Amino acid sequence: MKHTEAWKRSSPDEIKIGLISISDRASKGIYTDEGVPALRGWLESALSTPYVFHERLIADEREVITETIVELTDDLGCDLVLTTGGTGPSRRDVTPEATMDAGTREMPGFGEQMRQISLRFVPTAILSRQTAVLREIEGHTALVINLPGQPKSIK
């Protein structure tokens, strides 16, 4: 695969991270998104290597979520994509399905571990449907992980 200018890195150690907040209301401007700022803040405090973020705020629409994951991994070369929102049991919550559509292999241990940890603090965590996948294209593999929609749960 021929990589575009968007794939260039400022250093060999730089990690490209896609941050996607999935919210119908925030994407329409009904309220301010807190998901991407929470993800960014946590990562900035945790990372010691060079990084660059590519951020998106989108509606909870299966095709849009899948297309956004593909854009971040295939077009921009993100190594890691974190989503927040859309993992609950309601019919509008389609992030896990959209993530599976974008993935080439499921990584079920991530969702299992996140639910296990969350259950220590919130009894309804068992209702969360986070998942993780690898998206593999020629010459590149990215990890995509769904995180909860509540900013306090992201940590």
Report the distance separating Cα 155 and Cα 4, nearest Å.
33
Q: Dump pLDDT digits (tens) for 46-62.
A: 999 999 999 999 999 99
Looking at the domain assignment, is residue 4 inside a domain?
Answer: no
Looking at the domain assignment, is residue 7 inside a domain?
Answer: no
Looking at the domain assignment, is residue 43 inside a domain?
Answer: yes
Q: Map residue 47 onto helix, strand or coil.
A: coil
Give 86-132 as a DSSP string. Answer: --SSSTT--HHHHHHHH-SEE-HHHHHHHHHHHHTT-GGGGG----E
DSSP for residue 28: T
Looking at the domain assignment, is residue 139 inside a domain?
Answer: yes
Element housing 20 (H / E):
strand 15-22
pLDDT value of position 148: 82
Q: Map residue 82 onto helix, strand or coil.
A: strand
CA-based angle 20:24:29, to the nearest 5?
90
Looking at the domain assignment, is residue 115 inside a domain?
Answer: yes
pLDDT value of position 36: 94
For residue 61, give every residue at least 6 positions away whose Cβ sits within 8 Å of its Cβ, in sequence order, or none: 94
**pTM here?**
0.92
Domain span including residue 148? 13-154
Split into its structural domains, the chain has a count of: 1
Looking at the domain assignment, is residue 144 inside a domain?
Answer: yes
Are 13 and 50 contacting, i.e. CB atoms less than 8 angstroms apart?
yes
CATH of the domain at 71: 3.40.980.10
pLDDT in tens, the chain (155 residues): 456 677 888 888 999 999 999 988 888 889 999 999 999 999 999 999 999 999 999 999 999 999 999 999 999 999 999 999 999 888 999 999 999 999 999 999 998 998 888 888 888 888 889 999 999 999 999 999 999 877 777 66
Are 20 and 81 contacting, i.e. CB atoms less than 8 angstroms apart?
yes
